[in-house]
Amino acid sequence: MNFFESVIIAWESVIANKLRSLLTMLGIIIGVSSVITVSALGQSGRAAINKEMDAFGANRFSIYYRYDSDDPITDADGFTLQDVVTIKEISPAVENMAPISWDSANIRSKGKEIGVEIVATTADYTEIANLKLDAGRFFSNEDDDAKRYVAVISESLAKELFSSSAAIGKKIMVSNRPFKVIGVLAREESIFSMGMDSKLMYIPISTYFSFSGSNWINNIEGKAVSQTEVDKAIEHSLNILHRRHRNENKYNAWNSQKEIDSVNQVTGIVTLVISAIAGISLLVGGIGIMNIMLVSVTERTREIGIRKALGARETDIMIQFLIEALVLSFSGGILGMFLGFGLSQIIAMFIKIPAVISWQMIALAFAFSAVVGVCFGLYPARKAAYQDPIEALRYE
């Protein structure tokens, strides 16, 4: 018997019992759609985080104080500008390094008053953080050494105070001191910022020390010479810091690779759990198909008898019922696939991560349905095929 015709015959019998077929397919639909949804979101989530980390810089690391130790952090433990210079000089693994002091302040310009974050750092920071400018320039070492009152502001702050391009050369008052805007940063798109750009103002760290009276450095941002040297760069930096301050266990470091690893671990576990659930629902779906196929074989015993009386071989009957099981499971697979696509698009809309749908997933969904169809269709199909023709014809 022609394969294509068998598919048509099977399709007709699926259509003839629409509701029953749909209910039978439910397990497969749920299984396939959950596999698709989870892997689409998992993959795109991972891709988004990796992209974010890449943008942040895979070579980057950050050193900060350990506030979790019993020993409180004292002024003597505080980072100094000389620490940064020394580490840069000694460690071959460290390519660049910049201290950062964070502060918040109310600034005034043209009668407007706005709360901003002040980031006081050195000129090296642009290179480490790979900052992009919309207009103007970042401050230089000269600006820093001369303690000039210059500032580079984030795009959202520029928009709020002036219009972005017109910001260069304007004055901003911070604690009654006039800062001249010399640069505007480009807007940064990030899944972490959720579309909101914070109001930041970058100023030279020496300027900050002189006008604020504080010389507290909150953390040190570093960049290793390569991704493989990050661990070494961190080790050197921590050793040098502890040696210079004659203390121990006061500092800690963070780097993006650690973050990527932990994110991947979590998404891996989630994927595993959902895959297990999907596997179980596919199994249940398969049993559903087997059940309905057994019912169908019994219901159609007479048909089997008639077909055999007219010359159908055992293989003909077997193929007919096997294809019917396959049509059921494939239809379920296709419906599940569309449901999965739809679901992942909807969820993607809410969490603002684009859903990634790959051909591998489609292949996987089809493979799943095929395996379920064959595995659970085989027994009913064999049962149909090996019926005695006269018994089947007599069946009421």
Partner 1 sequence: MILVENMTKIYRNGENEVAALKDVNLHIRAGEFVAIMGPSGSGKSTLMNILGCLDKPTSGEYYLDGKPISQLDSRQLAYIRNKKIGFVFQNFNLLPRMSSLRNVEIPMIYAGIPPRERRIKAMEALKSVGLEDRWHHKPNELSGGQRQRVAIARALINSPKIILADEPTGNLDSKSGAEIMGIFTELHRNGATIVLVTHEDEIARYAQRIVFFRDGRKVDEKSSELL
Based on CB atoms, which residue is closest to partner 1, 18 or 246? 18
Q: What is the CA radius of gyration of the chain?
A: 34
Based on CB atoms, which residue is closest to partner 1, 238 or 312? 312
Q: Measured from the CB of residue 386, what is the shortest distance to partner 1 in angstroms?
A: 9
**Exposed, middle or buried: residue 38 (CB in 10 Å: 0-12, 13-18, 19+)?**
buried
Based on CB atoms, which residue is closest to partner 1, 309 or 363? 309
193 CB contacts (<8 Å, ≥6 apart)? none
Q: Is 19 one of the binding residues for partner 1 (CB under 8 A)?
A: no
Q: Measured from the CB of residue 328, what is the shortest distance to partner 1 in angstroms?
A: 17
Q: Is 111 one of the binding residues for partner 1 (CB under 8 A)?
A: no
Of 369, 387, 380, nearest to 290 by C-alpha is: 380
Q: Which of 127, 302, 349, 363 binds partner 1 (CB under 8 A)?
A: 302
Q: What phi and psi values does residue 138 have, to the nearest 5 degrees?
A: -85, 160
Based on CB atoms, which residue is closest to partner 1, 17 or 215? 17
Q: Measured from the CB of residue 300, what is the shortest distance to partner 1 in angstroms?
A: 9
Q: Measured from the CB of residue 372, what is the shortest distance to partner 1 in angstroms?
A: 26
Q: Is 310 one of the binding residues for partner 1 (CB under 8 A)?
A: yes
Residue with tokens 């909150």: 218
Q: Is 299 one of the binding residues for partner 1 (CB under 8 A)?
A: no
Based on CB atoms, which residue is closest to partner 1, 226 or 298? 298
Residue 195 φ/ψ region, left for φ over 0, alpha for ψ in the -120 to 50 degree band, beta for the rest: left
Q: Is 307 one of the binding residues for partner 1 (CB under 8 A)?
A: yes
User: Residues in contact with partner 1, total (CB under 8 A)?
Assistant: 22
Q: Which of 166, 272, 363, 390 binds partner 1 (CB under 8 A)?
A: 390
Contact status, residue 336 vs residue 365, Cβ threshold 8 Å: yes
What does the alpha-carbon distance between residue 87 and residue 227 come to, in Å, rounded to a whole number? Answer: 18
Beta strands in the chain (DSSP E): 60-65, 94-109, 112-121, 133-136, 150-153, 171-174, 177-185, 200-204, 219-224, 251-255
Based on CB atoms, which residue is closest to partner 1, 2 or 82? 2
Q: Is 283 one of the binding residues for partner 1 (CB under 8 A)?
A: no
Residue burial 375-385, b: 16+ Cβ < 10 Å; e: rest: ebbbebbebbb
Q: Is 115 one of the binding residues for partner 1 (CB under 8 A)?
A: no
Q: Is 52 one of the binding residues for partner 1 (CB under 8 A)?
A: no
Q: Which of 133, 306, 339, 362 binds partner 1 (CB under 8 A)?
A: 306
Based on CB atoms, which residue is closest to partner 1, 318 or 361? 318
Q: 219 is written with which tokens?
A: 């953390």
Residue with tokens 């599940």: 336
Looking at the DSSP bridge assignments, the partners of residue 108 are: 113, 173
Q: Is 279 one of the binding residues for partner 1 (CB under 8 A)?
A: no
Residues that bind partner 1 (CB under 8 A): 1-2, 5, 12-13, 16, 302-303, 305-314, 316, 389-390, 393
